């Protein structure tokens, strides 16, 4: 097991039949040396790679795992539905139950539509906004991630200028840039899309300034454009009513996915009354968008998150992790930067723009059993208990020691 034979053998086979070994954000080539590509199983907040190494998991599948891997309540609900049928000629009754729960939980929501991926939901919001307003321009924050199709993909390979012809950039938390963008859109503004907080890859996380959030709301009210909250990453982790509820700023349309079904494939769009009719005009569908098992999983996930107050638990454990990082870094005399909400934290080292120290920290912590990330926000889940955080901090201590040797 120590030579990581299975993972490297699988990578070699994958390289032959899968371009680049793996598509997308889960490709381990983007991670520090030593990170596994293939996983054998997960349980609670723990993961095992195919070579038998165990980790306390702080990526949670990059968001979807919110209650813990293989959560018994969710898996039982999914299994019960699977025994009846999943992919039928229409949805099961569970669709209506889930839609009712979402509309009840999310204050702005008068209705919802379901899909599979976050990209389906963000793209659907933009399309519904354009259908409802009859306008074209969409304000998008520079550097923000909204999905992996031509209008928003971070790579421009295979993308035409026409795919993005009606996007206008603005800066997150930058009111002057908003004014410029609004001016540029003139009377053709369909929507402003914004993430729950600024979580661009490789940059320090930034919470929304409440005055800026309100300025976006005011701009949409003044122009009739839709305020779209991309809550795909943060949704159901920070606040069960939507991540901007604590700010008192409500969107017209919101996109969710990731955590909604604790790992089961589902996405949702919620909207205000004004966009109900436009939502019926857009042709929204997919072969698997009505499957019942992920809906049953989502219903169980959301009820459980509400029952245990999941966001409060993840916040408390995230604060414990953050306090531990501070204490351990100080002991080594290391200057660190911690950003983001405690349940979705990022740890960076001062003056480490390329994350060279961050990578060394993560690689060493991994060897000691904690799976962290040096550039992307991490994710707590409700299965993290104090003892798991403390075990991860013991691994982090080794990581900080390794960094101290480099400095
Ligand atoms: N928006 C945000 C903020 C995201 O974090 C993501 C996924 N990382 C998406 C949209 C796209 O979601 P998906 O990968 O499920 O299509």
CATH of residue 23: 3.90.1150.10
Residue 297: exposed, middle, or buried by beta-carbon count in 10 A (0-12, 13-18, 19+)?
Answer: buried
In a shared domain, residues 316 and 173: no
Q: Is residue 386 part of a domain?
A: yes
pLDDT digits (tens, 9 = 90+) for 194-208: 999 999 999 999 999
Task: Specify the ligand 1 atom closest to the Cα of 147.
Answer: 11
Cα of 4 to ligand 1 centre, how many Å?
31
In a shared domain, residues 105 and 152: yes
Task: Specify the ligand 1 atom closest to the Cα of 267.
Answer: 15
Identify which of 144, 145, 228, 237 to mutate to test ligand 1's pocket (most ligand atoms within 8 A of the CB).
Answer: 145
End-to-end CA distance of the chain: 32
Q: Is residue 47 part of a domain?
A: yes
Cα of 279 to ligand 1 centre, how many Å?
21
In a shared domain, residues 197 and 240: yes
Task: Specify the ligand 1 atom closest to the Cα of 195.
Answer: 3
Point out which residues pair with 198 in neighbouring strands.
Answer: 206
Q: How high is the pLDDT of residue 407?
A: 74
Cα of 147 to ligand 1 centre, how many Å?
5
Q: How high is the pLDDT of residue 138?
A: 99
In a shared domain, residues 125 and 155: yes
- Write out the E strands in 160-225: 167-170, 189-195
Q: Is residue 233 part of a domain?
A: yes
Ramachandran category for residue 340: left, alpha or beta (phi over 0 → left; psi -120 to 50 → alpha): left
In a shared domain, residues 142 and 164: yes
**Other CB atoms within 10 A of residue 202 CB:** 14
Cα of 3 to ligand 1 centre, how many Å?
34
In a shared domain, residues 140 and 274: yes
In a shared domain, residues 248 and 371: no
Cα of 117 to ligand 1 centre, how many Å?
7
Identify which of 66, 143, 146 to mutate to test ligand 1's pocket (most ligand atoms within 8 A of the CB).
Answer: 146
Round to whole Å and give the CA distance between 295 and 117: 13
**What's this model's pTM, rounded to 2 decimal places?**
0.98
Q: Is residue 67 part of a domain?
A: no
Round to whole Å and give the CA distance between 273 and 347: 40
Dihedrals phi, psi of 326, to nearest 5 degrees: -60, -45
ipTM of the complex model: 0.99
Cα of 139 to ligand 1 centre, how many Å?
18
Q: Is residue 41 part of a domain?
A: yes
Round to whole Å and give the CA distance between 74 and 4: 32
In a shared domain, residues 146 and 159: yes
Task: Specify the ligand 1 atom closest to the Cα of 62.
Answer: 8
Residue whose C-alpha is closest to residue 113's, from 255, 262, 261: 255
Largest CA distance in the chain: 63
Strands 336-339 and 346-349: antiparallel
In a shared domain, residues 276 and 331: no
Round to whole Å and give the CA distance between 279 and 112: 9
Cα of 232 to ligand 1 centre, how many Å?
6
Cα of 146 to ligand 1 centre, how many Å?
6
**How many CA atoms does the CB half-sphere of 3 hold within 13 Å?**
2
Q: What is the mean pLDDT of each run of 10 residues along the chain (407 residues)?
A: 78 98 96 97 98 98 98 98 98 98 98 98 98 98 98 97 98 98 98 98 97 98 98 98 98 98 98 98 97 98 98 98 98 98 98 97 98 98 98 98 94
Cα of 401 to ligand 1 centre, how many Å?
34
> Closest residue (by CA) to atom 1 of ligand 1?
146
Task: Specify the ligand 1 atom closest to the Cα of 258.
Answer: 15
Q: Which of 272, 292, 308 is the last residue of a domain?
A: 308
In a shared domain, residues 91 and 157: yes
Round to whole Å and give the CA distance between 113 and 393: 41
Q: Which of 308, 341, 359 is the last residue of a domain?
A: 308
Cα of 142 to ligand 1 centre, how many Å?
16
Identify which of 119, 202, 263, 346 to mutate to test ligand 1's pocket (most ligand atoms within 8 A of the CB).
Answer: 119
Q: What is the number of structural domains in the chain? A: 2
Identify which of 114, 115, 232, 266 to mutate to test ligand 1's pocket (most ligand atoms within 8 A of the CB).
Answer: 232
Report residues whose beta carbon is within 6 angstroms of any ligand 1 atom. 117-119, 122, 145-148, 195, 230, 232-233, 257
Cα of 9 to ligand 1 centre, how many Å?
30
Instruction: Provide the domain limits for residue 352.
Output: 5-62+310-406
In a shared domain, residues 248 and 142: yes
Round to whole Å and give the CA distance between 202 and 346: 10
Q: Is residue 79 part of a domain?
A: yes
Task: Specify the ligand 1 atom closest to the Cα of 119.
Answer: 16
Q: Is residue 281 part of a domain?
A: yes
CATH of residue 167: 3.40.640.10
In a shared domain, residues 295 and 397: no
Q: Which of 274, 308, 342 is the last residue of a domain?
A: 308
């Amino acid at each position: 097991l120590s030579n990581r034979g299975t993972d490297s053998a699988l990578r070699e086979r994958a390289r032959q039949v899968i371009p680049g070994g793996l598509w997308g954000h889960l490709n381990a080539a983007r991670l520090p040396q030593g990170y596994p590509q293939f996983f054998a199983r997960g349980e609670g907040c723990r993961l095992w790679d195919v070579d038998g190494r165990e980790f306390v998991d702080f990526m949670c599948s990059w968001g979807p795992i919110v209650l813990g891997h293989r959560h018994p309540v969710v898996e039982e609900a999914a299994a019960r539905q699977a025994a009846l049928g999943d992919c039928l000629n229409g949805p099961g009754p569970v669709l209506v139950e889930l839609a009712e729960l979402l509309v009840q939980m999310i204050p702005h929501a008068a209705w919802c539509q379901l899909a599979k991926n976050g990209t389906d939901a963000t793209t659907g919001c933009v399309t519904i906004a354009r259908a409802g307003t009859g306008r074209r321009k969409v304000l998008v924050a520079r550097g923000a991630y909204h999905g992996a199709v031509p209008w928003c993909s971070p790579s421009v390979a295979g993308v035409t200028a026409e795919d993005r012809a009606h996007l206008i950039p603005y800066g997150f938390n930058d009111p002057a840039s908003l004014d410029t963008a609004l001016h540029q859109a003139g009377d053709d503004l369909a929507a402003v899309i914004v993430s729950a907080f600024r979580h661009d890859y490789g940059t320090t996380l930034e919470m929304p300034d409440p005055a800026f959030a309100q300025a976006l709301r005011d701009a949409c009210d003044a122009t009739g454009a839709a305020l779209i909250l991309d809550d795909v990453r943060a949704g159901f982790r920070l606040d069960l009513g939507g991540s901007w509820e604590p700010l008192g700023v409500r969107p017209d349309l919101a996109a969710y996915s990731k955590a909604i079904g604790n790992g089961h494939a589902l996405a949702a769009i919620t909207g205000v009354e004004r966009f109900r009719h436009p939502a019926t005009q857009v042709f929204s569908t997919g072969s698997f968008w009505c499957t019942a098992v992920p809906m049953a999983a989502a219903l169980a996930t959301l009820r459980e998150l509400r029952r245990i107050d999941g966001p409060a638990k993840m916040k408390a454990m995230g604060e414990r992790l953050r306090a531990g990082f501070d204490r351990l870094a100080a002991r080594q005399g290391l200057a660190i930067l911690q950003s983001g909400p405690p349940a979705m934290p990022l740890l960076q080292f001062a003056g480490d723009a390329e994350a060279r120290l961050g990578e060394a920290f993560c690689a060493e912590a991994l060897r000691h059993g904690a799976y962290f990330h040096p550039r992307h926000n991490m994710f707590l889940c409700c299965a993290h208990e104090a003892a798991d955080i403390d075990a991860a901090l013991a691994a982090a201590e080794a990581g900080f020691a390794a960094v101290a040797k480099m400095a």
